[in-house]
Amino acid sequence: MRLKARFAGPLQGRARPPGDKSISHRALIMGALAEGETRIESLLEGDDVRHTAEAARLFGAKVERRDDGIWVVNGVGGFNQPTETVDCGNSGTGARLLIGAAASYKLSARFDGDQSLRKRPMNRVIAPLSQMGARFDGKQNCLPLIVHGGALKGITYRSPISSAQVKSAVLLAGLNAEGATTVIEPERSRDHTERMLKVFGADFDYVEIDGALHPRVRRSKLTGVPIYVPGDPSSAAFPVAAAFDRREIGSAGGGRAREPAAAWVLRDAARDGRQHHLRGAPRSDWRTNRQFGCESFEAAWRDTAARRAPAMIDEFPILAAVAAFADGETRITGAAELRVKESDRITLMVDGLRACGVDAEELPDGLVVNGRGPKSVRGGAEIRTVGDHRIAMSFLVLGLGSKEPVTVDNADMIATSFPGFSAFMQSLGADIAKL
């Protein structure tokens, strides 16, 4: 499905983004590992999460969606031998976390995914899980692969990268391993898994190593609990950014205390922007009526790069799109992880920005965007997305502020993370239409 976005006046209104994808995956997986019932409200019902729900069924949990939209998972206290291949679709999060959880049980499970997921590196979880005692059969450290689990031993793993997926896979494996399992990261990544392990009753704490606290888990029995999935900040970043690049009034819901990571940069970048309700409230309201300059934008990015980069990796494409409307050079670095997401997002963003008349260049770990201010982006291009949902949404947002409409060649994959994206944006006044 091709979509076209064009300028159509101001964005106005309030709307809650869909449920947080990261929390949705974890709620299903931990609910399947737990004993008893886990009720999940506001679960993201995108394609990625539905694959994880089906995987939970294959590992022995009873998973159903009630008529009122509540998802109920009845776990049996661990994973059982699946009877068929575990298809993770397009989800790297689902695949890596499920592999970690499965590795600690005496079973053999074959994991696979779509063509995009088959290209994404799995060695980052294979390496630590192998150290714990799991065995793997496969080619080139990618899917499809077979996990032979059971009899794991806890380790202290020094991860070479800051990755919530890697950390989560190791900690989930540690739930059924002998001894303690600790993960040390270069920079702390998102802590969804740590928080949820506590909620499900895991034997979990933090240990001080090298002057910093790092997560540690011991063999534990999880117990089912009610879970409310808040709105996804990464999804909220798109309407927030659309309000900024058009210099119009906008409002984006954020049903959790953590504001969109992109907001850390955008808020500090806006010379005359005002932001409200971001101190733990369930809503994030944004207003801006003036352009923001690249000098403040770049300064805000430098301030957040080292500390926040692992937490905002998914928002880099939309930040690059917004940078096209800034004045002068915006340089984003420390984002090499973008090259091994659903696509090489650095190359795709630069190619798409150039096609829309924006001066941009690749860096090994990021990109440089030379913006010429609001209303300067020509647009008028059809963007190659390679089926990457965040590339598609980022360029549709760019099209909302461009002189000429912007088309994306394939918007079907948007449903993996933001089902109903077009209708959501249209409810705020955006002009996004099928072709």
Give the pLDDT confidence score for residue 106 in this predicted structure. Answer: 97
Q: Say yes or no: 56 and 166 in one domain.
A: yes
Q: Say whether both 348 and 369 belong to one domain.
A: yes
Phi, psi of 401 (to 5 degrees): -115, 5
The answer to whether 165 and 182 are in contact (CB under 8 A) is no
Structural domain span for residue 353 = 3-18+231-434
Instruction: CATH number of the domain at 393, please.
Output: 3.65.10.10
Nearest Cα residue to 324 out of 428, 241, 433: 241
Give me the pLDDT at residue 265, please.
Answer: 53
Three-state secondary-structure class, residue 374: coil
Of 165, 198, 228, which residue constitutes the final position of a domain?
228
**Residues 216, 278: one domain?**
no
* Residues 72 and 221 placed together within one structural domain of the fold: yes
Q: In this structure, what token pair is assigned to residue 145?
A: 């692969």
Question: How many independent structural domains does the chain possess?
Answer: 2
Residue 271 sits in the same domain as residue 176: no
| 240 and 338 housed in the same domain | yes
Considering the domain architecture, whether residues 13 and 149 belong to the same structural domain is answered as: no
Tell me which long-range contacts 344-349 makes (C-beta under 8 A, separation of at least 24): 345/316, 345/317, 345/388, 345/390, 345/391, 348/384, 348/385, 348/386, 348/388, 348/391, 349/317, 349/320, 349/321, 349/391, 349/394
Cβ neighbour number for residue 307 with a 10 Å cutoff: 11
Alpha-carbon distance 14 to 226, whole Å? 27
So what's the pLDDT on residue 71?
Answer: 98
- Position 292 scores a pLDDT of 36
On whether both 200 and 302 belong to a single domain, the answer is no
pLDDT at 294: 40
Active site residues: 314
Q: Considering 228, 251, 278, which residue would you say is the last residue of a domain?
A: 228
Is the separation of the CB atoms in 234 and 314 below 8 Å?
A: yes
240 and 106 belong to one structural domain: no
Helix axes 294-308, 316-323, angle to 10 degrees: 170
Q: Token pair of 303, please?
A: 């301030």
- Whether the pTM exceeds 0.75: the reply is yes
Residues 53 and 85 in one domain: yes
- Domain shared by 160 and 286, yes or no: no
The DSSP element (H or E) to which 173 belongs, if any, is helix 164-174
Same domain, 37 and 124: yes
Please enumerate in sequence order all residues whose Cβ is within 8 A of that of 47, keeping only pairs 6 or more positions apart, or say none.
89, 90, 413, 415, 416, 419
Domain boundary among 172, 197, 228: 228
What does each of the 435 residues of the chain score in pLDDT, given as a tens digit?
899 999 987 787 777 788 989 999 999 999 999 999 999 999 999 999 999 999 999 999 999 999 999 999 999 999 999 999 999 999 999 999 999 999 999 999 999 999 989 988 899 999 999 999 999 999 878 999 999 999 999 999 999 988 999 999 999 999 999 999 999 999 888 899 999 999 999 999 999 999 999 999 999 999 999 999 988 878 888 887 887 644 433 333 333 334 444 554 555 544 433 332 222 223 334 343 333 334 444 444 444 444 556 667 778 889 889 889 888 888 887 778 788 777 889 999 999 999 999 999 999 988 899 988 878 999 999 999 998 999 999 999 999 999 999 999 999 999 988 999 999 999 989 999 999
